[in-house]
Amino acid sequence: MTKKQSSLESLKTGSKHITFGYVMIYCPKHPSANSNGCVKEHRLIMERHLGRFLTRKEIIHHINGIKDDNRIENLQVLNQKEHFRIHPERHRLTQEDYDKAHKVASSKESNEKRRQTMTGENNPAWKGGITKDTKEYGRLRRLKIKEMKKSGNR
C-alpha cells in the first residue's frame, strides 16, 4: 500500500447531507474539503476505487444523470473538455445571463463613464481638475520637505 493509499484509507468520514442534489460527507482532513469540511461522496468513492486522490481538473460524471446514485458502475472520471461534450447545455450562458454576471454596458456608455471619471465630472472632490489651490499646496509641501531635509528631521 502506498503512502497516498494509506492516507486515503485513514480519512475518517462523518455525517451525510445533500447539497444541490449531491451527497456530501463530512471529512475535514480531506485535501478537497470545502469550507464546511465536506466532500462530495462520489469523489470519495472514485478516489477509493482508484486508490489515489483526484485532481481538481478531474470531474466525476454520473452516467445515468442521477446525482445521488454513487455506485461505482455509475461513475466515470472525465476532464473538463470531455464533460463539456456530454453536457454542453450546462456550460452555455444566454447573453442576458452573461451581461448580468459581468454587468456589461454598451461600449458607448462605458467610454462615456470612463471620460467622466478621467475629467472628474462625477467626482465632487475633483472640482474641475488641478486648480491654483492644489498647485500651491504641492509647491508648499515640496518646500517644507526641502526644509526638513536640510534640518535633518526627515
76-87, pLDDT tens digit by residue? 999 988 888 887
Residues forming a β-bridge with 40: 24
Same domain (yes/no): 100, 60? no
**Domain-ending residue, one of 91, 110, 143:** 91
Q: Tens digits of per-residue pLDDT, 43-57?
A: 999 999 999 999 999
Same domain (yes/no): 116, 141? no
Residue 118's alpha-carbon distances to 34, 109, 129, in angstroms, are 42, 14, 9
Specify the higher pLDDT residue, 1 or 13. 13
d(CA 18, CA 24): 6
Domain count, the chain: 3
Q: What is the mean pLDDT of residues 30-55?
A: 94
Q: What is the mean pLDDT of residues 99-119?
A: 57
Same domain (yes/no): 104, 50? no
Where does the pLDDT of residue 138 fall: very low under 50, low under 70, confident under 90, or very high at 90 and above? confident
Same domain (yes/no): 136, 61? no
Same domain (yes/no): 99, 63? no
d(CA 60, CA 13): 19
Same domain (yes/no): 8, 83? yes
pLDDT at 1: 46
Same domain (yes/no): 40, 108? no
**Domain-ending residue, one of 39, 70, 91:** 91
- Identify the CATH number of the domain in which residue 9 sits: 3.90.75
Same domain (yes/no): 69, 134? no
- In terms of residue numbers, what domain contains 109? 94-123
Compute the mean pLDDT over every residue in the chain, rounded to the nearest whole number.
75
Residue 30's alpha-carbon distances to 11, 19, 36, 66, 111, in angstroms, are 7, 18, 11, 24, 48
Same domain (yes/no): 16, 61? yes
Same domain (yes/no): 98, 109? yes
pLDDT at 2 over 80: no
Q: What is the mean pLDDT of residues 53-63?
A: 93
- What are the phi and psi torsion angles at 121 (to 5°)? -65, -30
pLDDT at 78: 94
